[in-house]
Amino acid sequence: MSKFKKNSKRESGAISTASLPDIVFMLLFFFMVATVLRTEEEMVKVVRPEASEIYKIEKKHLIRYINIGPPQDKRYGTEPVIQLNDQFADVVQIRDWVENERLTLAEAEQTKMWVSMKVDQDTKMGVVTDVKQELRKASALKVLYSASSRDRTN
């Protein structure tokens, strides 16, 4: 018995928490580096519609974005506008934009470019149709209508 008692008398020192901040900071930095941030500022308000037949693009570098929605800044009005890269654009500029964006891809991947259309759900189809027609003329035929996922209805 005495043998055990002797042992239990020894006090174990408190675990040092001095390295805890370092660990958390490492976590923080990991997240900061690992998250893919939005590469461009969103200048239009987009509430994406919901859909159940969702497709996820694996190769993110192939995606180019077209945003359509009412401007964030009220000074530009409330009518839906088109945003290409980080500026407002007109429908006729889309063809040039597609050409330019295509050139940023490697030659072998130029035909695999995706255009992701982030369109606000309250936008009227007129603008969207015009954009689609321009995309067809520019032969950018792979389109993703950006949506958030939901379950299938029965």
Partner 1 sequence: MARREIPEINAGSMADIAFLLLIFWLVTTTIDSDEGVKRQLPPPVPPDMEQQEVKDGDVYNVRTNFRDELLVEKEVLSIGQLKDGAKDFLVATGTGLLHPERPNITLGDDNMKYPERQWVRKAELTVLEQSYIAAGQDKRAEKVREKLTAIALFGSDYKELPGSALISLQTDRNTSYDLYLQVQNELEAAVNELRDELSLAKFNESYASLEERYSRTKEASLLDKIKAIRLVFPQRISEAEPRDASQGYY
Question: Which residues form the interface with partner 1 (CB under 8 A)?
Answer: 17-18, 20-21, 24-25, 27-28, 31-32, 35-39, 48-49, 51-57, 60, 63, 116-117, 119-126, 128-129, 132-133, 135-137, 139-149, 152-153
What phi and psi, each to the nearest 5 degrees, are found at residue 63? -95, 135
Nearest CA among 124, 150, 130, 154 for reference residue 51 = 150
Shortest distance, position 7 Cβ to partner 1, whole Å:
30
Backbone phi, psi, residue 59, to 5° = -85, 95
**Which tokens belong to 153?**
């209805």
- CB 52 → partner 1: shortest distance, Å? 6
Nearest of 69, 50, 44 to residue 120 by alpha carbon: 69
Nearer to partner 1, 83 or 123 (CB): 123
Residue placing its CB nearer to partner 1 in the complex, 43 or 120: 120
* Nearer Cβ to partner 1 (27/87): 27
Residue 32 CB, nearest distance to partner 1 (Å)? 6
Which residues, other chains included, contact 129 with Cβ-Cβ below 8 Å and sequence gap of 6+?
none
